[in-house]
Amino acid sequence: MRLLITGGAGFIGANFVQRTVAEYPDIRVVVLDALTYAGNRASLDSIADRIEFVRGDIADAELVDRLVGGVDAVVHFAAETHNDNSLARPWPFVQTNIVGTYTLLEAVRRHDVRFHHISTDEVYGDLGADDPAFSESTPYNPSSPYSAAKASSDMLVRAWVRSFGVRATISNCSNNYGPYQHVEKFIPRQITNLIDGVRPRLYGAGNQIRDWIHVEDHNRAVWTILESGRIGQTYLIGANGELDNKSVVEHILVEFGRDPGDFDHVTDRPGHDRRYAIDATLLRTELGWEPRYRDFRAGLAVTIAWYRAHETWWRPGKAAVENAYAEAGERVL
């Protein structure tokens, strides 16, 4: 089997490529990644001789057609992914997440190649405290330019399945944590701030809730869907990991041996989604998937240890991220 993985130098994609190479040694892996600020070739260093790496844009129709024509399946992770960036500069989100996905869909349609589309729970908008968790039948209601662009890409995939018979599945997952996550994101930002002696930064009151899942559990679910999922079906991926942001920061501080109140409240994100929660019943009952990381604090401790041990991986991007937050107007409340 030959597999094209887009966005394989990003956080979830790099973990997926590493897992694939380790567990499916007969698969020929091709990675297509533009190496934007979020992509890091070093995440694939340990397996560089086991994969073919192509630096390029998923919206480059000629390149995409050639690569898709040489594989049996595509797993599509590549995207612009950070909500704060989408508020500051929405265009790359429209271009990559919508036009890029369209370009891939046209290529898999031409070559009749199996396609798995990686998406997010944010397409469903947010929940009130007592609302039931998102399920596959929850109506789309995205809030930010990022989530609207991801929702658009999901709609394209559904249309290409129905109109053109493309053999595609979709998964919408909750917030991931683990190794190789960019330092702009919530958990790595706080961990690397603490390594640098800087207090963690909590948006607003910090009572927003995210449903945390370890990246390895997400990627095992993706493999399960790729192998056994029904064509045309959407599967939600989540591990019952609901936690408010303030509690996450407190857990990180405790892991560092610090006072759990030792953080700053900073300017809130405009339009900040209050709560995400996933009901993964379909994935569990139909495909038999179960998460292995059930203890968030244990997973967090391993993640902190990873960032402590891999400063050379994250250090080059750290100052630029903090400058960008400052330039966007973030200030201590």
Among the options 102, 124, 146, 180, which is catalytic? 146
Phi, psi of 202 (to 5 degrees): -110, 125
Choosing from 117, 201, 218, 251, the residue that interacts with ligand DAU (CB under 6 A) is 201
Phi, psi of 217 (to 5 degrees): -70, -40
Order of strands across the sheet that contains 168-173: 51-55, 28-33, 2-6, 73-76, 114-120, 168-173, 234-237
Choosing from 33, 57, 106, 121, the residue that interacts with ligand DAU (CB under 6 A) is 121
Q: Which CB atom, from 150 or from 318, has the smaller least distance to ligand NAD?
A: 150
The token pair at 67 is 């690569």
Please state the closest distance from residue 62 (CB atom) to ligand DAU, in A: 28
Q: Which residues bind ligand NAD (CB under 6 A)?
A: 6-7, 9-13, 33-36, 38-39, 57-59, 77-81, 96, 100, 118, 120, 150, 173, 175-176, 182
Find the binding residues for ligand DAU in span 234-253 (CB under 6 A).
245
Taking every pair of Cα atoms in the chain, the longest distance, rounded to a whole number of angstroms, is 58
With CB under 5 to 8 Å by kind, the binding choice for 78 among ligand DAU, ligand NAD, none is ligand NAD
With CB under 5 to 8 Å by kind, the binding choice for 39 among ligand DAU, ligand NAD, none is ligand NAD
Handedness of CA 270, 276, 282, 285 (dihedral sign): positive
Answer whether 151's CB lies under 8 Å from 123's CB.
yes
Task: State yes or no: is 203 an active-site residue.
Answer: no
Q: Is 275 in the site for ligand DAU (CB under 6 A)?
A: no
Q: Which CB atom, from 121 or from 250, has the smaller least distance to ligand DAU?
A: 121
Q: Is 102 in the site for ligand DAU (CB under 6 A)?
A: no
Answer whether 241's CB lies under 8 Å from 213's CB.
yes
Please state at what angle helix 11-23 crosses helix 215-228, rounded to 10 degrees.
60
Task: State yes or no: is 131 an active-site residue.
Answer: no
Task: State yes or no: is 180 an active-site residue.
Answer: no
